[in-house]
Amino acid sequence: MRILVDMDGVLADFEGAFLDRWRAAYPEHPFVPLHKRRTYHPEEEYAPELAQSVRQIYCTATFFRDLAPIPGGLEAVQDMVRSGMEVFLCTSPLRDYQHCVVEKYDWVVRHLGIEWSKRLVLTKDKTIIAGDVLIDDRPSLHGIATPAWEHVLYDQPYNRHVTSKRRLTWKNWREVLGTGL
Amino acid sequence: MRILVDMDGVLADFEGAFLDRWRAAYPEHPFVPLHKRRTYHPEEEYAPELAQSVRQIYCTATFFRDLAPIPGGLEAVQDMVRSGMEVFLCTSPLRDYQHCVVEKYDWVVRHLGIEWSKRLVLTKDKTIIAGDVLIDDRPSLHGIATPAWEHVLYDQPYNRHVTSKRRLTWKNWREVLGTGL
């Protein structure tokens, strides 16, 4: 069984860091806490005139490097490997790639070690990556191919409108993936 | 038809840049011109005590960013797209990833434009990328999966010992791929 695991919103707490930095940078502006988020892209939750400021938060150097791990995620992927599953970390860089690409490698090395950098796959189109399952918080994933994988949603407030897909968290991944571990 | 195209030694002239920088940095040391290269990794062509100096050449900032395009390559991949083929640039970062990952994106944007950054796939294991053909100068490619693609060798002096694979250059790719273009 080959499992592809997304990073932001699944292993790395993108939303938490965004909110912390947003509130620190713009205390005068409104903010949308995670449990009230209804769209995948943070900028869609804010007024159009704030979109550029929102993007600036996560395009800044150190943003991706310093993301906190989502509790249970690092242990889960390590447990998967220990139990013989093939695991790849499958992540899409921002169009403003200048900081995020190297910082995604830094993050993996820092939290999982240099050997795990071999499991990192950077691709805008995840449909061409061959796997059995893709664990991703994005409501829907599109690309050039019909993917081999089943998209299992990593449960987040902003993807709860999707009812057609199985979903999991790092608390119940064993049951959902049905590995009987 | 989906074509995966490697970067170093296929689209980007890694060997030429290495040789230029090596000779400039170490005029007192021997050098191995491209037509005499018999192994894929440059450091294997030099005495063991020079291996670290060899690696330092291509781990230096700006090395990947400033690679010259291999003649015909950029036109070929653009022609492929124009003729309806699906093209992805499929490249493996160095273990010393600090400069090369962002510089591979920079290179693609500089020579092909920002839209082509969406076609860039960074992965150590190319066997999990789904495609019909992988054009790569590496004599053999290994990974976790049985690849869907046929490995077509990009002809280089250091892979001529391989006789079991079809090979191409940017002069004859149309004939070899049999697209009849």
Write the pLDDT tens digit of every residue in B89-138.
999 999 999 999 999 999 999 999 999 999 999 999 999 999 999 999 99
Q: What per-residue confidence (pLDDT) applies to B179? A: 60
Residue B181 scores a pLDDT above 70: no
Q: What amino acid is encoded at B25 in this protein?
A: A
Closest to A29 (Cα-Cα) out of A59, A51, A60: A51
Judged by CB atoms closer than 8 Å, whether chains meet at A122 and B125 is answered as no
The reply to whether A52 and A135 lie within a common domain is no
The reply to whether A9 and A28 lie within a common domain is no
* pTM for the whole structure: 0.96
A145 touches chain B (CB under 8 A): yes
CATH of residue B127's domain is 3.40.50.1000
Domain range holding A34?
Answer: 14-59
Q: What is the number of structural domains in chain B?
A: 2
Q: Which residue among A6, A13, A136, A137 is the active-site one?
A: A6
Q: What per-residue confidence (pLDDT) applies to A180? A: 46
Q: Which of A102, A127, A149 to mutate against chain B (most B CBs within 10 Å)?
A: A102
Dist CA A167 CA A160 (whole Å): 9
The reply to whether A77 and A152 lie within a common domain is yes
The reply to whether B96 and B161 lie within a common domain is yes
Answer whether A120's CB lies under 8 Å from A91's CB.
yes
The reply to whether A42 and A117 lie within a common domain is no
ipTM of this complex: 0.96
Dist CA B130 CA B123 (whole Å): 12
- Judged by phi (left if over 0) then psi (alpha if -120 to 50, else beta), residue A152 lies in beta
Handedness of CA A6, A8, A12, A15 (dihedral sign): negative
Kindly state the percentage of chain A with pLDDT values over 90.
Answer: 96
Dist CA B177 CA A173 (whole Å): 43
Residue A129 CB contacts under 8 Å (≥ 6 apart), including other chains: A4, A88, A90, A121, A123, A147, A149, B128, B129, B130
